[in-house]
């Protein structure tokens, strides 16, 4: 089951803009049967992680500004450049882990039936006003042949 959650998270970009648009879309909420209480909990989870994610993204961007300055400096400290590159890698890993935790928390708000329906919607490239999901008929990507959840 965790593999299916992980693949769906990738399909939905780790709870990024496509996932947000899907859960913000009234037609998708209706299709999934998401209740007002579930939506409140989902928004609460998104808000909980958003500040942490913004902090990490900000630090990455600040490091990139310093890196660009170092690259322009003919006497730049190679060790500092390496430190910044390594640190940004660590920050990106932390960001990915936060996104994964956010997605898993949201996933657990959904009922088993909603999880299965969301999986099918993602697999089929369910089309909402903003376009299809990656791997679906209106999207692109290598996830077209992802296995269905258990029991399908």
**146 DSSP assignment:** P
Sequence-distant contacts of 119-122: CB under 8 A, at least 24 apart = 119/4, 119/8, 119/148, 119/149, 120/148, 120/152, 121/22, 121/28, 121/31, 121/32, 122/8, 122/11, 122/12
| CA distances in angstroms from 104 to 8, 34, 93, 97, 138, listed in the order given | 10, 16, 16, 10, 26
Please indicate whether residue 128 or residue 10 has the higher confidence score (pLDDT): 10
User: Residue holding tokens 């648009």?
Assistant: 21
- Closest by CA position to 106, among listed 27, 22, 30: 22
Q: What are the sequence ranges of the domains in the chain?
A: 2-123
Give percent of the chain with pLDDT exceeding 70: 64
Is the whole model's pTM more than 0.75, yes or no? no
Checking if the pLDDT of 6 tops 80, the result is: no
Please indicate whether residue 63 or residue 116 has the higher confidence score (pLDDT): 63
The model's pLDDT over 91-119, given as tens digits with 9 standing for 90+, comes to: 999 999 998 898 889 889 999 999 888 87
- Tell me if the domain spanning 2-123 has CATH number 1.20.120: yes
Q: What is the pLDDT of residue 53?
A: 94
Residue 1 and residue 115 in contact, taking contact as beta carbons nearer than 8 Å: no
Checking if the pLDDT of 124 tops 60, the result is: yes
The Cα diameter of the chain in Å comes to: 61
| Alpha carbon distance 29, 87 (integer Å) | 39
């Amino acid at each position: 089951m965790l593999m299916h959650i992980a693949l769906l998270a990738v399909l939905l970009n780790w709870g990024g803009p496509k996932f947000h648009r899907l859960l913000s879309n009234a037609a998708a909420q209706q299709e999934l049967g998401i209740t007002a209480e579930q939506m409140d909990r989902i928004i609460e989870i998104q808000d909980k992680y958003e500040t942490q994610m913004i902090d990490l993204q900000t630090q990455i961007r600040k490091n990139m500004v310093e890196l660009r300055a170092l690259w322009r400096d003919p006497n730049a400290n190679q060790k500092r450049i390496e430190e910044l590159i390594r640190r940004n890698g660590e920050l990106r890993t932390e960001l990915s882990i936060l996104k994964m935790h956010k997605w898993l928390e949201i996933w657990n708000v959904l009922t088993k039936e909603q999880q299965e329906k969301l999986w099918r919607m993602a697999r089929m490239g369910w089309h909402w006003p903003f376009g299809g999901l990656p791997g679906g008929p209106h999207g692109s990507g290598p996830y077209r042949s992802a296995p269905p959840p258990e029991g399908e």
